[in-house]
A = this chain, B = another copy of it.
Amino acid sequence: MIGIFDSGYGGLTVFKEIRKLLPDYDYMYLGDNARAPYGGRGKEKVTSFSREAVKFLFDKGCHLVLFACYTASSLALRELQKEFLRAPGITDKKILGVIRPVVEHAAKHSRKGAIGIVATRATIDSKALETELKNLKPELKIFPKACPLLVPLIEEHWHKTPEARMILKKYLRSLKNANIDTLILGCTHYPLMMSDFKRFFGKKVDVLNGGKIVAESLVNYLERHHEIKSLLSKNGRITYYTTDDPERFFEFGRYFAKVPIEKVERVSLS
């Protein structure tokens, strides 16, 4: 199975795109809602929470785990790849993140080399996206901006209000002044405000749909890694797990997934 892990609901916007391109596989989606959001937490906590999530998904029979969360991908991915994939006996497992594909796309397609990044405070502070972009192309000019209020606004369904648009404008002003040509939405919640980002910047800025890019990259990954692909079952089954109230996940999750969520099971990670 393919395991998709996020701190909460945001990863469902990525999962939605993955299922469009790869509808036949079996999936487990794990939302650590009891400890979400990760976006304001330190590296140590995000790593230890993510470690428990990876262990859970591997134990459940996943061979491929995708961190559908920029905060976990920024703060914990590299360390956990080392820990889990180096351990003896674990050669049939992989952990992937969302940063690499998005960053490669941005570096490749940016016309003027001026790239903005919007994300949670933890992701911005980690400089993970910035560093990977610079590694790919040192001459890029990067403009990071933490937008910590967007996640609560989206989770409260307030993101279509004038207040949310005013807050968004304040966040984005410095990026407009910097004349960026590409914007990375470095948080899986932000695609729910895609039209507002696009309206603010107009046609001059390419606002990247990370979910779609990550999904395309996963298709490509499986083409190149038959040793993993051959281990993945294909019955089109999806199982949802949450560390908080399943009813709540059922209710709020639908709104991110854009499709009904059938069955949600509560699990304890710690």
Contact B244 A45, beta carbon cutoff 8 Å: yes
How close is A126's CB to chain B, nearest CB, in angstroms? Answer: 13
Closest B residue, CB atoms, query A8: B40
Rounded to whole Å, the gap between the CB of A133 and the closest CB of chain B is 26
B148 touching A156, Cβ below 8 Å: yes
Contact of A195 with B by CB under 8 A: no
| Identical subunits present | 2
Partner of A167, one of B42, B45, B163, B248: B163
When chains A and B are docked, how far (Å) is the Cα of A5 from the Cα of B197? 40
By a CB distance below 8 angstroms, the chain B residues around A40 are 155
In the complex formed, the residue of B with least CB distance to A44 is B245
Distance from A132 Cβ to chain B, minimum over Cβ atoms (Å): 23
Best-buried of A35, A44, A163 by chain B (most CB within 10 Å): A163
Extra contacts, 13 of them, besides A34-B41, A40-B155, A163-B170 (Cβ < 8 A), are A34-B35, A35-B35, A41-B245, A148-B152, A148-B156, A149-B152, A149-B153, A151-B152, A152-B152, A158-B167, A162-B166, A163-B163, A270-B270
